[in-house]
Structure 1
Amino acid sequence: MSNYKASTAQARLGQVKDFLTGNMSATTIPFDPNASKFPSRKDIPQPAHALKDVQASWVWGENDQIGRLNLLTPTRIKAAAKSEILSGELVSLNLPLNHPTTPGFARQAFHHEIRPLAENVAYDDFWNANTQSGTQWDGFRHFAHMPTQTFYNGTKATDIVGPSANLKCSQHYWGDHGIAGRGILLDWKSYAERKGIPFNPYESDSISLAELQACGKDQGIDIRPAAQGGDVQIGDMLFIRSGFISSYFSKTPEEREKLALRPHALGPDDGQRWAGLKQEDPMLDWLHDCWFATVAGDSPTFEAWPTPLEYHLHEYLLALWGCPIGEMVDLEQLSRTCREKGRWTFFVTSSPANVPGGVASHVNGLAIF
């Protein structure tokens, strides 16, 4: 039997199975966001407009602007609200806008001033900020697939800056859509401390998938995707507490500034060194195959920085898969609340800035229990 006939027969068998089980597989591009089964990274189909030979998961259509936020459908949001909002308690996920007081990567610090509109009776205030100087979403215009210099869904630098600049993959599409659904926290910081695992948020210490799995098991969570028998549901929003925020506030202002001002140069000798997830194939498979709507952590880079390999997780998550990355999310109170309640899932809302042409946004996030 030819490969074409074999694949066609397999697809038809899958359709019959879906009909009998009530499931719906995502097989035709653009994918239906309401599907209950999505392919693994090794099986992801490559549409005609996708990058070749790099497993670009551009499955939502050639004109898609929001990537895996498509998974946050009304059905999933409604189900998450019903299962997760039990007591109505709110937990902020945002650092104060003036922290870090000295941002890393030579970014400008937040500036705030109050301006009188009418003396003694009315005032305005003025902010000057780099959206990525604190609790942030990395947008799709932030980080390209470096070998091809291509951002998500075919966006190029000429779409972002210069005379041909346009709104392709602009941050404002996230603002129009909004972000809400089920969050899941892996508290690596607490686990590592209990197990005596040395881990420095201000060095390029890495967390492997095996270590995340052990952390999840310690919390009573099977972090495999539901399709493999685990607890992670399609469209979940992942949060990983590595300990950067607690470490940051434990240091003096002088120590923070010195560490933030370490020299930055892209490559393995970068003086900017931050802890995060490990660059490895098992991690790539897991991050892809869980079909997270978003991923986030409390460190400045989410992944271990600088990468020791020839790629960054940012390239896969943002450029190849269209998955938003949250960084420097304040997970301190969230981890305490989760531990007190003995549950590690919750409802999450985030309202990204609606800035046409924008690259990134503050998170403006809340967890609701």
Structure 2
Amino acid sequence: MSNIGRRLSQVTGLFGDGKSPDELPWNPDTTKLPLRKDLPKIPGAPDGAAWVWGKHDYIGRLNLLTPTRVKAASTEIKTGEIVPLDLPLNVPEQPGFGREKFTHTIKPLVPGIAYDDKYELNTQSGTQWDGFRHFAHIETQTFYNGTKGEDIEGPNANHKCSIHHWANHGIAGRGILLDYRSYAKANGVNYDPYTSHAITFEELQKCGKAQGIDIRPESQGGHIKVGDILLVRSGFVESYYERAPEERTKLALRGHTEGQGEAGEEQQWAGLAQEEAMVDWLHDCYFAAVAGDAPAFERWPTAAPYHLHEYILALWGMPLGEMWNLERLAEKCRERGRYTFFLTSAPANVPAGVSSHPNGTAIF
């Protein structure tokens, strides 16, 4: 097919029913979706926005988790083995980015007979979903699907992009792990997860190949299916448990804005590289959600004039998880020789909430 023919095919035959991608809302069951470079311009939205599921949509790419896809993903359950994906609520004991520590109080009702307990926590202090209220497109100060700061706080606050929308929809689908930490160790790529080591798209391709996975979208001949949930293991959790408590605390208290921290030392974390190839891949695979074990998912601080958070959360409406416990999962994947599984998550049902612990589970 000529280049012109391919272009016309992408633009006019995306949905199998002759609809153009300019016709909104999109059908979430479709498997033929436009590349990032072919996204239609959404009136009133920043360039590159994929606000395509309806004017009042607040679940973004979770729309891709249709009954058809969830049923298909359930075929990943072969042995019934369960792998929880959340860290304990008090890990890390000293959160980064200046966040509050988790506190747990036992409340006796009738001593020796009945008790309650009370939690005080920042939902970003440990294993988490970043909700769509967490990070805006910075240039326009706009959150997913046109949500603004005044929708989140102040006298006109409402429930736009609240985390409870995710809870009401539910999260379940096919998970796929890219165990970059194991790949790096096996191939002499030595780095500290507490530094700003960039995991490039090229390296993820090599990691996938080592696992027997072609990380291209299925539409391009690869193994990534529309609606998959991507997990990337950078080694942060492994490194956290290898360090003494005093060192963990010192590193967590590094500044998160210029000039903060001991001797102006800035927080650094390994994560996905801010590069065009990575942005294209994250978009074009049409993941329902992405998550990793690192505190920022992307390389921190960013070396580019943008953050991946802006694309993932604000422009595309794709749930973003951080500090997931992928240690047992990686071990089970290596043991079973497969890196796909059924994945479920139950975010907190908190109207107006910003983020949530995922309560994530992988089932083999």
TM-score by length of 2: 0.94
2:152 aligns with one of 160, 170, 177: 160
Report what 2:140 is aligned to.
148
Q: Deviations over 1:124-165 (max 9, x none)?
A: 000000001000000000000001111101111100011111
Report what 1:40 is aligned to.
35
Report what 1:3 is aligned to.
none
Question: Is the counterpart of residue 136 in structure 1 residue 134 in structure 2?
Answer: no
Please list every run of 5 or more consecutive structure 2 residues that lacks an aligned counterpart in the other structure.
none
Within 5 A, what are the aligned runs for 1:179-198? 179-198=171-190
1:260 aligns with one of 226, 230, 252: 252
Report what 2:69 is aligned to.
76
**Corresponding letter in the other structure for 1:362:** H
Report what 1:235 is aligned to.
227
**Corresponding letter in the other structure for 1:109:** K
Report what 1:299 is aligned to.
294
CA distance in 2, matches of 1:17, 1:245: 41
CA distance in 2, matches of 1:27, 1:88: 42
Report what 1:212 is aligned to.
204
**Corresponding letter in the other structure for 2:211:** Q
Relative distance call for 1:257 and 1:15 in structure 2 (3 A) is: closer
Relative distance call for 1:230 and 1:356 in structure 2 (3 A) is: same
Alpha-carbon shift at residue 46 of structure 1 (Å):
2.0
Report what 1:368 is aligned to.
363
Which segments of structure 1 move beyond 3 Å, counting only runs of 4 or more? Answer: 9-19, 23-27, 266-270
CA distance in 1, matches of 2:310, 2:8: 32
Alpha-carbon shift at residue 17 of structure 1 (Å):
9.8
Alpha-carbon shift at residue 13 of structure 1 (Å):
9.2
Relative distance call for 1:24 and 1:93 in structure 2 (3 A) is: farther
Report what 1:312 is aligned to.
307
CA distance in 2, matches of 1:109, 1:57: 36
Residue 180 of structure 1 aligns to a residue whose secondary structure is strand
Residue 18 of structure 1 aligns to a residue whose secondary structure is coil
**Corresponding letter in the other structure for 1:311:** Y
Report what 2:331 is aligned to.
336
1:55 aligns with one of 48, 56, 73: 48
**Corresponding letter in the other structure for 2:98:** A
Query: Is this contact kept in 2: 1:24–1:36, CA < 8 A?
Result: no
Residue 16 of structure 2 aligns to a residue whose secondary structure is helix
Please list every run of 5 or more consecutive structure 1 residues that lacks an aligned counterpart in the other structure.
1-5
1:345 aligns with one of 329, 340, 344: 340
**Corresponding letter in the other structure for 1:204:** S
Alpha-carbon shift at residue 118 of structure 1 (Å):
1.4
Alpha-carbon shift at residue 71 of structure 1 (Å):
0.4
CA distance in 1, matches of 2:15, 2:241: 53
The percent of aligned pairs where both chains have the same amino acid is: 60
Report what 1:31 is aligned to.
26
CA distance in 2, matches of 1:183, 1:15: 28
Report what 2:273 is aligned to.
278
**Corresponding letter in the other structure for 2:23:** T
